[in-house]
Amino acid sequence: VCLQVRAFNGKHYSEPASETTRPVICLCVVNDKALIGFLVFLILITSLALLVVLYKIYILRRRKVFIYSCISFVTPSDEEERLLNVEPIPADALLDTYKKKLADEGRLFLAEFQSIPRIFSKFSMKEAKKNWNAIKNRYVDILPYDYNRVQLTTGNGEPGCDYINASFIDGYKEAKKYIAAQGPKEETITDFWRMVWEQKSSVIVMVTRCEEGSRVKCAEYWPSMERGAEIFEEFVVKVNSEDHCPDYTIRHLSLTNKREKNTEREVTHIQFLSWPDHGVPGDPHLLLKLRRRVNAFKNLFSGPIVVHCSAGVGRTGTYISIDAMMEGLEAEGRVDIYGYVVQLRRQRCLMVQVEAQYILIYQALLEHNQFGETEISLSELHSTLSTLKEQSTEEESTLMHEEFQRMPVYKNWRTYNAGITEENKQKNRSSTVIPYDYNRVLVRLDDDPSHDSEDDEEEEESSDEEEESSKYINASHIGGYWGTRCFITAQTPLTDTAADFWLMVHQKKVSHIIMLSDSKLDDSVTLLVSAFFLLLGQCDIEVEVTSTETTPVFISRMMSIRHVKRKESRALRHYQFLKWGDGEVPEKAQDLVDMLRDIRNSFVFSDGSSRCGLLVALWNLLDSAETEKLVDVFQVVKTLRKERAAMISNIIQATSKSRVSADITEYLNKEEKSLSTGSLITAKSN
């Protein structure tokens, strides 16, 4: 390319001067400048963005420092001003007050709880923060106040030898009735037993497991039955016996100090096992039951009751609040829950740690206020039953009838959508007895053997995916004394549902069925008791009766249930009770008790509710009588009503159950060898 250059003087152009050049080089020079300009622009934009980010970080840090400074300099007067003026609640207004505070998603409960300072800054925590005590604290932010911390007096003289993460707590009227402590660490077990010894405590309440999920909550500071005894420096701890119940374990321990001769002390250790890893117990009655067990071992001459969980504030504060407020309710007929929780926070930080625990205190007191104490020891069962049969002077009804009328019905408290669809309505014998969705038995459509009985291991709530891959059957998982889903209550199968019934029996590995009717009920009963079944519907299940034993009270049949495709077979025992006609209760209570001796697993009858409910209730009462030497008819029925509609639906059945409970007592007194509690797990074989 030739580039011509001419000079112009305003009038004329000069001769062109030619110069051969390389346009590429010229273009490159131009592109370099553009690139440099672009890079400079990009650097400026990036720098500006970086400055904005740094400015934001600076602002956030200033705000964080400001917040911390506000927290650090909250004055005691500010903490007191945050508190609300909440009046004590009379006993007769407790239910209405609870409903009012629970309304609008618990807005009033939340306002009350959030108004209570987590920590009262006017109380120092200097000892807990000293370097040599840091290792003794399980959590860095949960420390005892100096003014009411438990001080050890028999240490080795080293710095911090008097320190333990524990606080004295006042009761309803009694000062220092409790010691709220963190769960012992491996490093503090000796200190814990030293505290128990020095304070002369005879009862320890442990409201946690040693491990929950994957987290260590507390060291196991007592010896196992296998080890028998353990030595912690000068203290010897020996376990004498253990009583295992579904919700708690009671250990009877002996504590000896080798420095003091002939001074062995008895210590009762009660560990509550039914507090879930997250949340609170579903039934507040369990904590009232725990309280009764603790108070039964409380000695008037012993020291404070030691209560601990992991941190010694949340569950610990909840239990202490329930115990103290129960005293107030019984003494004054009113409770000041808010005021007492404020008092607890003044004695140990974060007591009653979350709102759900605060509400649980109300629920426990409401449970007691509405229903009272319904637990009966076996030694008092006959006399109590006689009293309950006496007529009330006011309404001429028996005390038992009045108790039954107080029992909640729980009508429609859960959904039962699966049972009322057009497709499934025809599968129900009764339109009033439909299984709740949350605990209905799922019969899988795919018959994969790897899934057999897996539903029992799952959570109570079934997922939508699980329900879509299952077929409907009118049957419910029911809790037993020893755990959830111990029984299956089901209606007697209809002609169209017999195949589903046997598929359920096979999938859930049921080993016993109890039918609470004679064969005259209707023709469909023969679906359960005929001599031989082949290829029932599409489930490929073959059932054969291999032997029959008839007594005046019941018929016992041994059956073989076989999956044709898998070539799997299993033995099954079928009981048919003969002494229950058309009435609400059996002809003789003792007949039912006689059959209970041979029964272990699941059962079936008619609507799967009214009569099944009575039998399940009696079986659970038998377990309770054998294990704890007491029964609670009211609570057993109340729990069953939550799990299936129409369970124990009238006073006649309730009266019969109490009468059979008395017969069970006689049975237990006569039997030299009680039934195995392990065999009471029903609905599947282990």
In whole angstroms, give the CA distance from residue 232 to residue 190. Answer: 5
What was the pLDDT predicted at 612? 74
Share of the chain above pLDDT 70, in %: 77
β-pair partners for 577 = 554
State what percent of residues in the chain have pLDDT above 90: 46
pLDDT band, residue 649 (cuts 50/70/90): low
Higher-confidence residue of 568 and 14: namely: 568
Q: What is the CATH number of domain 418-521+582-676?
A: 3.90.190.10
Q: What is the largest CA-CA distance in the chain?
A: 140
The alpha carbon dihedral of 632, 612, 461, 454 has a sign of positive
The rounded distance, in Å, linking the Cα atoms of 274 and 207 is 9
Q: What's the rounded Cα separation, in Å, for the pair 341 and 314?
A: 11
Q: Which of 245, 227, 299, 297 is closest to 269 using CA atoms?
A: 297
Query: Of residues 677 and 224, which shows the higher confidence score?
Result: 224
Question: Residue range 133-154: average pLDDT?
Answer: 96
Q: Are 288 and 364 in contact (CB under 8 A)?
A: yes
Kindly indicate the confidence band of residue 684, based on its pLDDT and cuts at 50, 70 and 90. very low
Is the alpha carbon torsion for 456, 461, 466, 470 positive or negative? positive
Which pLDDT belongs to residue 235? 96
The stretch 559-570 carries a mean pLDDT of 86
pLDDT at 514: 87
Q: φ and ψ at 89, to 5 degrees?
A: -105, 120
**Helices and strands in the chain, H and E counts:** 19, 27
pTM: 0.79
Same fold, 76-371 and 418-521+582-676: yes
96: pLDDT strictly greater than 90: yes
Higher pLDDT, 27 or 243: 243
* CA atoms in the 13 A half-sphere facing the CB of 312: 32
Q: Please tell me which residue, 28 or 504, carries the higher pLDDT value.
A: 504
pLDDT at 72: 39
- pLDDT at position 655 is 55
pLDDT at 83 > cutoff 50: yes
Instruction: Flag whether pLDDT at 17 surpasses 90.
Output: no
Q: Is the pLDDT of residue 60 over 50?
A: yes
DSSP character at residue 675: P
pLDDT score of 357: 98
Pick the more confident residue, 118 or 457: 118
Tell me which of 117 and 615 has the higher pLDDT. Answer: 117
pLDDT digits 0-9 by tens, 261-293 = 878 999 999 999 999 888 999 899 999 999 999
Measured in Å, how far apart are the chain's first and last C-alpha atoms? 97
Please give the single-letter amino acid code of residue 208. Answer: T
The reported pLDDT for the residue numbered 517 is 67
Decide: 318 and 357 in contact? Cβ < 8 Å.
Answer: yes
Look at residue 478 and tell me whether its pLDDT is greater than 50: yes
Confidence class for position 609, pLDDT limits 50, 70, 90: low
Residue bearing tokens 């939508």: 464
- Name the most confidently modeled range: 20-24, 222-226, 257-261, 462-466: 222-226
CATH superfamily of 76-371: Protein tyrosine phosphatase superfamily (3.90.190.10)
Predicted pLDDT at 40: 82
The full 3-state SS of 569-616, as one line of letters, equals: EEEEEEEEECCCCCCCCCCCHHHHHHHHCCCCCCEECCCCCHHHHHHH
pLDDT at 183: 98
Per-residue pLDDT, 343: 98
* Highest mean pLDDT, choosing among 478-492, 578-592, 666-680: 478-492
What would the two tokens of residue 222 be? Answer: 């007592």
Residue-level pLDDT at 28:
41
| pLDDT the model gives residue 14 | 62
**Average pLDDT in the chain:** 82
Q: Write out pLDDT tens, residues 353-385.
A: 999 999 999 999 999 999 999 999 988 888 888
SS3 323: helix
pLDDT the model gives residue 407: 80
Q: Which of 67-71, 425-429, 592-596: highest mean pLDDT?
A: 425-429
Domain residue extents for the chain = 1-73, 76-371, 418-521+582-676
pLDDT band, very low/low/confident/very high, at 448 (cuts 50, 70, 90): low
Is pLDDT of 664 > 70?
Answer: no
Query: Over the stretch 427-439, which tens digit does the pLDDT of each residue have?
Result: 999 888 899 999 9
In this predicted structure, the answer to whether residue 71 has a pLDDT above a threshold of 60 is no
d(CA 672, CA 97): 51
- Between 471 and 255, name the one with better pLDDT: 255
- 607 vs 178, residue with greater confidence: 178
In the prediction, which pLDDT does 675 show?
33
pLDDT for the residue numbered 572: 87
Among 46-55, 128-137, 319-328, 576-585, the range scoring the smallest mean pLDDT is 576-585
Higher-pLDDT residue of 457 and 263 is 263
22-26, 238-242, 558-562: least confidently modelled range: 22-26
Q: Are strands 178-181 and 305-308 parallel, antiparallel or unpaired?
A: parallel
Query: 676 pLDDT exceeds 70?
Result: no
Can you give the pLDDT at residue 253? 98
Strand pairing report for 2-5 and 17-20 = antiparallel
In a 10 Å sphere around its CB, with 0-12 CB exposed, 13-18 middle and 19+ buried, how is residue 442 labelled?
A: buried
The pLDDT-based confidence of 642 (bands split at 50, 70, 90) is confident
